[in-house]
Amino acid sequence: MSTLHALIFGLVEGVTEFLPISSTGHLMLTSIALGLTQTDFLKTFEISIQLGAILSVVVLYWRRLLTNWEVMKRIAVAFIPTGIIGFFVYKAVKNLLSNISIVPWTLLIGGILLIIFELWHKKRPEVSEQKLEDLSYTKYFLVGIIQSISMIPGVSRSAATIIGGLALGFSRKNIVEFSFLLAVPTVLAATGYDLLKNAGAFSSSQFNFLAIGFIASFITALLAIKFLMGYIQKHSFIAFGIYRIAIALLFWFVIR
């Protein structure tokens, strides 16, 4: 890996972390496009630079995270199933990061499901805006279970939580914002656990690469969050479904 590679990975992570297109899938495809093999360091690098994107959420939503206890409790409830499932399937998920062939399939299937869901959802009555703290704990727990599906590379944590939340009756704005907030403990736990197991094997130059990826992902994630919050005011997620399908086809017919 070079400094340029680290920068590219950081930019890709920041742009894709909160969009329903799978940051992990894009990072894996990026490694193929750059001719890099999925070493243990690269797997951990791809997980760790998510912290930069998560810092952007803290910067933008720190007041809600630190002062709204009711929202914090709901984040905790949604995180419980993800945390438990993630702990027990950690090794299996880490092994899946070596199986690049699964990514185009999950991108393709996820894109098709996203389009179908949006076409079905637009026929439902519009949900009135509610405060996050007014929704039941049961719904948040279910969102957490649905989020766990995104441990499969290419599924997209954002897509899983957003589709799950919309199906459970969240408004579009609410579930998108909650997806940002839920990412904080989810990614912190995943990254912290992975670094605890693997950080001792890294050289000082590899930590420099992590720093570059972290900074790049932080800056681009700030822009991506602001873009998405503006985008959902007038648009559905169908365009992202089409994009996922296009990327899957690109992988099969061009990159491979």
Question: Which one has a higher pLDDT value, 200 or 237?
Answer: 237
Residues 6+ away with beta carbon under 8 Å from 149: 155, 160
Distance of alpha carbon 228 from alpha carbon 15, whole angstroms:
10
Between CA 172 and CA 191 the distance in angstroms is 28
Q: What is the pLDDT of residue 122?
A: 79
Query: What percentage of the chain exceeds 90 in pLDDT?
Result: 25
Per-residue confidence (pLDDT) for residue 37, from 0 to 100: 74
The model's pTM: 0.83
What confidence score (pLDDT) does residue 244 get? Answer: 93
Distance CA 230, CA 176 (A): 11
CB 232 within 8 A of CB 172: yes
Q: List the chain domain ranges.
A: 3-255
Average pLDDT for residues 41-51, to the nearest whole number? 80
What pLDDT band is residue 199 in, cutting at 50, 70 and 90? low
Bigger pLDDT: 204 vs 232: 232
Q: Between the ranges 57-66, 112-121, 143-152, where is the mean pLDDT highest?
A: 112-121
pLDDT, mean over the chain? 84
* Tokens at 191, concatenated: 């990254």
Nearest to 124 by CA among 170, 177, 176: 170
Q: Examine the pLDDT at 256 and tell me if it is beyond 60.
A: no
Tokens of 229: 């919050």
User: What are 52-85's pLDDT values in tens digits?
Assistant: 899 899 898 888 777 888 888 999 999 998 888 8
How large a percentage of the chain has pLDDT more than 70?
88
217, pLDDT greater than 80: yes
Any idea which of 30-39, 66-75, 222-231, 236-245 has the lowest mean pLDDT? 30-39
Which candidate, 240, 226, 231, 247, places its Cα nearest to that of 61? 226
* Mean pLDDT, rounded, for 215-234: 91
Cα(157)–Cα(24) distance, integer angstroms: 9
The answer to whether residue 22 scores a pLDDT higher than 90 is: no
Task: Among 11-15, 35-39, 66-70, 118-122, name the one with the lowest average pLDDT.
Answer: 35-39
Q: Is the pLDDT of residue 200 over 70?
A: no
Neighbours of 197 (CB within 10 A): 13
- 162-176 pLDDT, tens per residue? 999 998 888 888 888
Q: How far apart are CA 15 and CA 221, in angstroms?
A: 6
